[in-house]
Amino acid sequence: MKAQSLGSVRKSFAPWADPAAKPFIRFEGLTKVFDGTAAIDDLNADIFHREFFALLGASGSGKSTLLRLLAGFEVPTRGRIVLDGEDMTGIPPYRRPVNMMFQSYALFPHMSVAKNIAFGLKQDGMAKSEREDRVADALKLVKLENYGRRKPHQLSGGQQQRVALARSLVKRPKVLLLDEPLGALDKKLREETQFELTDLQYELGMTFIMVTHDQEEAMTMADRIAVMGDGKILQVGTPPEIYEAPRSRFVADFIGTVNIFDGTLVARDGDRLTIETADGHPIEVDGNEERGGALQIGAKTAYAVRPEKLRISASPLDGPNVMSGEVWEIAYIGDMTSFHLKLDSERIVRVSMLNSSRESAVQMTWGERAWVSFEPNAGLVLSA
């Protein structure tokens, strides 16, 4: 019942698509220079109230710096951050209406769990009885009711993570910043916690901004993802937008796995383009105004297609884009099998196949000949 209602509400939640919606957090020309290098480079972005926003990038992409600028630990070199209509310039971290959950959890080792959680409330001068109530509520929220008197080092990693979460939530900040919140948990626990966090975020109606390098985590949890590289936001979008319609080669390559066929445009028939790949395969693909529409015949271009959108078969295939080669690598993962097919031109094509029946995985083996094909609309023409 609950999941259903959450789903229907979430489906309609898209303030970024509404031109009249007012952004809750706005980065305006934000720049941070460390020792002559720009960690954040003239960055502009809007984040909306109650949004779960993920900053995704490799290390050094500037995602953590952006979070630290928002928390107030770093001072911008240029530009500003506006939070809920208030300019954050010059406001120290201890006066900002944001709280952060640290990657290392940063629990105070000399304080009990309850004191850790109460720390922020105490700074606000809240009365002891009210403080105790709020701490009890927070402990209940993270399912650690009986752990208030323990010290952090007496808890397991997962429990410490929950305490850190409770401590950052208890002040009911306008924005919760999460720095790799699940980075230190093992895979199973991480997956459970992902859903717990998203539910919690919805129930509390808070704005969450999460930094992560794990794209699966970002896609599972976030309403929108900002892919970062070299201190810039390269693309902002919902998980399907980022995955299915990457705007650049970098984003296509960074998110998931992709086959990129570099080539030259050799023919055009309306929106149907024919590209001759660098290794000599003509492929027929769909373009549109935005994607490939402006290309002249003879121009260099590239086509990106994800492994699961290719078909693989042990017998010759019909269709527009068929290539054949030798099965070079097989990775059986359980729910799916991933193949590396080596074409006659030595080029490797990656294909993944869903193991929808128990026999499907065992049909092909190393060194055998196999055929792959894809539909003209399976991938995207990349602008660069």
Partner 1 sequence: MRHRLSGFNLVSLVLGFGFLYLPIVILVIFSFNASPLVTVWSGFSTRWYTQLFQNQGLLDAAWVTLRVGLISATMATILGTFAAIALTRYTRFRGRVLFTGMVYAPLVMPEVITGLSLLLLFVAVDFDRGFWTVTLAHITFSMCFVAVVVQSKLLSFDRSLEEAAMDLGATPAKTFFAVTLPVIWPAVAAGWLLAFTLSLDDLVVASFTTGPSATTLPMKIYSQVRLGVTPEINAVCTILIAIVTAGVLTATLLNKRRQVRREREGQAAFA
Alpha carbon 205 to its chain centroid, in Å, reads 20
Of 134 and 167, which has the nearer Cβ to partner 1? 167
Q: How far is the CB of 180 from partner 1 (least distance, A)?
A: 12
3-state SS assignment for residue 118: helix
Distance CA 225, CA 220 (A): 10
Shortest distance, CB of residue 130 to partner 1, whole angstroms? 16
Rule CB under 8 A: choose which of 2, 153, 187, 188 binds partner 1: 153
Q: Which is nearer to partner 1, 89 or 104 (CB)?
A: 104
Beta bridge partners of 278: none
Strand ordering across the sheet containing 369-374: 311-313, 369-374, 321-332, 336-343, 348-354
Residue span binding partner 1 (CB under 8 A) among the ranges 137-145, 167-175, 213-221, 327-335: 167-175
Nearer to partner 1, 13 or 119 (CB): 119
- Closest approach, Cβ 272 to partner 1, in A, equals 55
Phi, then psi, of 257 in degrees rounded to 5: -110, 145
36 binds partner 1 (CB under 8 A): no
Report the distance separating Cα 335 and Cα 304, nearest Å.
Answer: 24
As measured in angstroms, the least distance from the Cβ of 168 to partner 1 is: 8
Q: How far is residue 31 CA from its own chain's centroid?
A: 22
Burial environment of residue 280 by CB neighbours within 10 A (0 to 12, 13 to 18, 19 or more): exposed
| Contact set for partner 1, span 68-87 (CB under 8 A) | 71-73
Stretch that binds partner 1, among 11-19, 154-162, 196-204, 212-220 (CB under 8 A): 154-162
Complex with partner 1: residue 68 or 291, whichever CB lies closer: 68
Q: How many residues bind partner 1 (CB under 8 A)?
A: 31
Distance CA 367, CA 128 (A): 72
CB of 207 to partner 1, least distance (A): 16
First to last CA, the chain: 46
What residues between 133 and 152 interact with partner 1 by CB under 8 A? 150-151
Q: Smallest gap, in angstroms, from Cβ of residue 185 to partner 1?
A: 16
Q: Is 183 exposed, middle or buried (0-12, 13-18, 19+ CB in 10 A)?
A: middle
Q: Considering beta carbons, is residue 51 or 179 the nearer one to partner 1?
A: 179
* CB closer to partner 1 out of 5 and 104: 104
For the chain, the C-alpha Rg in angstroms (whole number) is 25
Indicate the residue among 212 and 215 with the shorter CB distance to partner 1: 212
DSSP for 300-339, please give it.
EEEEEE-GGGSEEESS---SSEEEEEEEEEEEE-SSEEEE
Q: Which of 32, 171, 190, 224 binds partner 1 (CB under 8 A)?
A: 171
Residue 149 in contact with residue 132, Cβ under 8 Å? no
Nearer to partner 1, 160 or 212 (CB): 160
Among 81, 114, 139, 155, binds partner 1 (CB under 8 A): 155
CA atoms of 225 and 233, how far apart (whole Å): 10
Query: What 8-state DSSP symbol labels residue 21?
Result: P
In the region spanning residues 84 to 123, those forming contacts with partner 1, defined by CB under 8 A, are 92-95, 98-100, 102-104, 106-110, 119-120, 123
Footprint of partner 1 on this chain (CB under 8 A)? 71-73, 92-95, 98-100, 102-104, 106-110, 119-120, 123-124, 150-151, 153-156, 167-168, 171
